[in-house]
Amino acid sequence: MKKITVIAVLAALMTLGFAFEPGNGMRMKEGLGNGHPDFDRPFDTDEPSFFEELDLTTEQMEQMDKIRSEQMKENIDLNSKIKILEIDKKDALKDHNFAQAKKITDDIFKIKANLAKNRIEMKKQKWEVLTQEQQKKLDEMQLERRYHHKRFTQKLKEMKKMKRMKGM
């Protein structure tokens, strides 16, 4: 009886170990940008990247990489400033210094506005690296991906609706 219990417990633990093993789940963080399209792509994907589909030259890829690297460095600095300000805001609220907390909130959103403007500037710089043919192809690719994303989200909504109806 004890042997059977030990074997059952070991089998259950092994099953749990496999269940929580890192894999290609929705929340799996791979690459430098956690799957963000502007960052490095995961190594195990078969889907071609924008770079490959646009047939960029080596020089264009180097320019894109330089733009991305500069942007990432600047974003690290700005995001760390936001985190420091959020701590300051928390301390101000703890001390009931609401005027200071409001000022800090304004400062945080000024930095967030800079981050958003930097993203736009990066997209502009990357766009300017592309030839007219590549720009046209990129527009087509983005339209196609939006279409597929829209169809996917519609299917997801339908599935959720069906689940709710079954639960009633």
Instruction: Give dist(CA 128, CA 136) in Å, integer.
Output: 12
User: What is the pTM assigned to this prediction?
Assistant: 0.56
- Tell me the C-alpha to C-alpha distance, in Å, between residue 124 and each of 68, 127, 128, 136, 166: 12, 5, 6, 15, 48
Q: Cβ distance 111 to 82 under 8 Å?
A: yes
pLDDT tens over the chain, length 168 residues:
777 776 776 666 666 665 555 554 444 444 444 444 444 444 444 445 767 788 888 999 899 999 999 999 999 999 999 999 999 999 999 999 999 999 999 999 999 999 999 999 999 999 999 999 988 988 888 888 777 777 777 777 778 777 777 766
